[in-house]
Amino acid sequence: MRKPEGFKQTGTDRRSFLKGAALIGAGVAATSVAAACTPDAKTEEPTTGTGGGTGGATAGTKYTTYSNPDEIGTVHETSNEETFDVVVVGTGVTGLSCAMLTAEQAPDAKVLLIDKMGGPGGNTNLAELNGPVPSMTWDEALAAAMERNDDVEMDLTDPFLYAHVLADKGKDLAWFYTERGVELADDLLFYKGHNGTLAVKGLVEQIETDPAYANVDYRLNTQAITLLTSDEHTVTGVQIKNTTSEEYTNVTAKAVMLATGGMGTNLELLSFYTGEDVVEKSVKFGQGQDGDGHLMVEYTAHGHSKSVDPTPMWAVVKDMALESALSCCIAMQKSGLYVNQAGLRFHDESFPKGAYPEVDHSMMQQGRVFSIVGQNMIDQFQTEGSNAPAFYYFQVPTDLSEELAQVDSNPNIYVADTFEDLAEKIGLPVDAFVEQINRYEADAKAGTGDSEFGKDARLTVPLGDPPYYAGEIWSIMMQTNSGIRINTDCQVVDPYYVPIAGLYAGGIAVSGFNTSRYTGGTSQSVGLWSGCKAARVIVENELGGTVADDWYGPKEYDGPYGDFMGMELLKPLPGQE
């Protein structure tokens, strides 16, 4: 879509989004940075944003401005200059695939691959799978994407874009698993080792030792700070910072690929974008997911990302580790009973009913949330394991005796022999809480299911005998979804989908796929697709080269496959098989 006649993009909200984003230093060439894109925002107060959530600082919100400790978007004066054909920011599956495939298809191109962390991989190190699935024709892919779009639990935002992921998957997986030799676990579903650490290690070793990647300059502890532009629709490079020496360098490039991940480890910025108080209710999870890419594109015609969706997944008792069996038993069971600060239930605790026991956003909207369990649930966990099936740490019988012996020293777990005493210890309204618990207990003992919110009868489990336990629940901020707008060539686009020349993005930094609900296996799939797609477009459109028809190998991926769709989603409880 082209801009309408007479359209003028002022960029007011984008430019004032980060207080302190200034154009610094006369030594920066005018052809590299457009002063119009980075006015001196130190003298400006943030203004109301136009996108989803809060946009810029909005009257009445908790945050008036983001502190921006890394000064993302600020151009620093420097005399250091380098030139590359392509700069790839980030070394997860998106960045690695983009850099490697670019080097394979354009052997003479100079590629700079950077990561601000001290080790490679980002959240790919924590990812479980890049699910192998059969190849699809375009018609099959589009039909599958539309079917998925109709599934309310998937929250797919752009089925046409996702159809491209499905249509290319056979080629992408052939390149990844067959040509690059990434290994699967014995179940043929998960990465070998059940996370992406070994996959990342193997790909990095190829970059460092294989002559095919001799022109890839791979650097850690190197952070992208701001995009260099000649105008709002043209990116000419990126300013980087060596986080060890704190030296800045302007890097000129024909293309910049942002594979910077989401915003899940930057809860302050995430709260600013979304308006949700994730700082007080969430636990960081991940590596380097700080929203750097989202902030950098603010200074192009892309402007502010219209939506960034927090993806709370899993739950923990406040200040307890994800690996704690007792925390899992109290906080993460689909048979759990959640009440808010008023002592009342507020939804079906087993929702959503897909593979992952995610923390629904309704929990994020409460003042406080507590999970209540009785001895019955404790015993079931110890004899049967977790009934949150995708969380496989404790899917076998797990002894809780050691942790239970220390529960008195945990300030976030409350123990009592009566519901009245439990309410008083937590600080909840006693009468409302006791009435709520008794109503739930009556449903559970009747065996007919939850009369208030419709929870499955198999999961409406009586609390049983005392002692009763309560834990304050926080969410694990697994990642974020949505964000930077791209087209089907992975080009970053403005609000009217006019491409920003020379700028690409991919992985969980981009919009068009899931929104607020994490769906297993999608993040790595989108990451691999966008890395491979961007590389092919960059080679042909930016470098003037030609991508080989067999870039992915002699044939599309045709197995082996794991049974992802056959994963057990709801394990029957004892006596309810």
Helix (H) or strand (E) holding 532: helix 522-537
- CA dist 38 and 322 (Å) reads 42
CA atoms within 13 A on the CB side of 539: 22
Task: Encode 479-502: b = buried (16+ Cβ within 10 Å), e = exposed.
Answer: bbbbbbbbbebbbbbbbeebbbbb
pLDDT score of 22: 30
The yes-or-no verdict on residue 264 having pLDDT over 90 is: no
474 beta partners: 316
Domain at 82-308+482-542, CATH homologous superfamily? FAD/NAD(P)-binding domain (3.50.50.60)
199-256 pLDDT per residue, tens:
999 999 999 999 999 999 999 999 999 999 999 999 999 999 999 999 999 999 999 9
Q: How confident is the model at residue 18 (pLDDT cuts 50, 70, 90)?
A: very low
- What average pLDDT does this structure show over 19-34? 32
Residue among 366, 473, 358 nearest 412 (CA)? 473
Q: How confident is the model at residue 301 (pLDDT cuts 50, 70, 90)?
A: very high
Which range, 66-75, 188-197, 222-231, 311-320, is most confident?
222-231
pLDDT score of 556: 94
- CA dist 97 and 211 (Å) reads 16
378-426 pLDDT per residue, tens:
998 899 888 775 555 666 788 999 999 999 899 999 999 999 999 999 9
Q: How confident is the model at residue 487 (pLDDT cuts 50, 70, 90)?
A: very high
pLDDT score of 35: 31
As to burial, measured by CB atoms within 10 angstroms (0-12 exposed, 13-18 middle, 19+ buried), residue 360 is buried
- CA dist 96 and 98 (Å) reads 5
Amino acid sitting at position 366: Q
Amino acid sitting at position 259: A
- CA dist 395 and 418 (Å) reads 30
DSSP states of 233-262: TEEEEEEEEETTTTEEEEEE-SEEEE----
Dihedral pair phi/psi, residue 561, rounded to 5°: -120, 145
Pick 356 or 128 by higher pLDDT: 128
- CA dist 566 and 236 (Å) reads 47
Instruction: Kindly report the length of the chain.
Output: 577
Tokens standing for residue 495:
């609000």
Is 539:215 a contact under the CB 8 Å cutoff?
no
pLDDT score of 420: 97
- Tokens 């962390």 -> residue: 117
Pairing of strands 86-89, 111-114: parallel
146-174 pLDDT per residue, tens:
877 665 455 556 888 888 998 999 999 99
User: Same fold for the domain at 82-308+482-542 and the one at 311-477?
Assistant: no
pLDDT score of 352: 54
Dihedral pair phi/psi, residue 399, rounded to 5°: -75, 130
Is 84:110 a contact under the CB 8 Å cutoff?
yes
Q: How far is CA 380 from the centre of its chain?
A: 32
Is 515:489 a contact under the CB 8 Å cutoff?
no
46-89 pLDDT per residue, tens:
222 222 222 333 222 222 367 888 889 889 999 999 999 999 99
- Collapse the DSSP code of 83 into the 3-class scheme (helix H, G, I; strand E, B; otherwise coil) and give the result: strand
Tokens standing for residue 140:
């099959």
- What average pLDDT does this structure show over 303-332? 82
- CA dist 197 and 390 (Å) reads 20
Q: Delimit the domains of the chain by residue range.
A: 82-308+482-542, 311-477
pLDDT score of 87: 98
- Min mean pLDDT across 17-21, 71-75, 262-266 is at 17-21
% of the chain at pLDDT higher than 90 = 48
Question: Could you name the CATH architecture of 311-477?
Answer: Alpha-Beta Complex (3.90)
- Collapse the DSSP code of 113 into the 3-class scheme (helix H, G, I; strand E, B; otherwise coil) and give the result: strand
% of the chain at pLDDT higher than 70 = 78
The yes-or-no verdict on residue 479 having pLDDT over 90 is: no
Is 47:97 a contact under the CB 8 Å cutoff?
no
Q: How far is CA 167 from CA 170, 177, 339, 561, 563, in A?
A: 7, 17, 44, 17, 20
pLDDT score of 477: 66
pLDDT score of 108: 97
Contacts 24+ apart (CB under 8 A), 361-366: 361/276, 361/310, 361/312, 361/516, 363/281, 363/312, 363/315, 363/338, 363/473, 363/475, 364/276, 364/277, 364/278, 364/281, 364/310, 364/312, 364/475, 365/276, 366/340, 366/341
pLDDT score of 21: 31
CA atoms within 13 A on the CB side of 271: 19
The yes-or-no verdict on residue 91 having pLDDT over 70 is: yes
For the entire predicted model, the pTM comes to 0.79
Helix intervals (H) in 447-482: none
Residue among 452, 454, 425, 421 nearest 439 (CA)? 452
- In this structure, how many other beta carbons lie within 10 angstroms of the beta carbon of residue 202? 15
pLDDT score of 200: 97
- CA dist 244 and 463 (Å) reads 54
Pick 444 or 279 by higher pLDDT: 444
The yes-or-no verdict on residue 95 having pLDDT over 90 is: yes
**Percent helix, strand, coil in the chain (nearest 5)?**
30, 20, 50
- What average pLDDT does this structure show over 335-341? 91
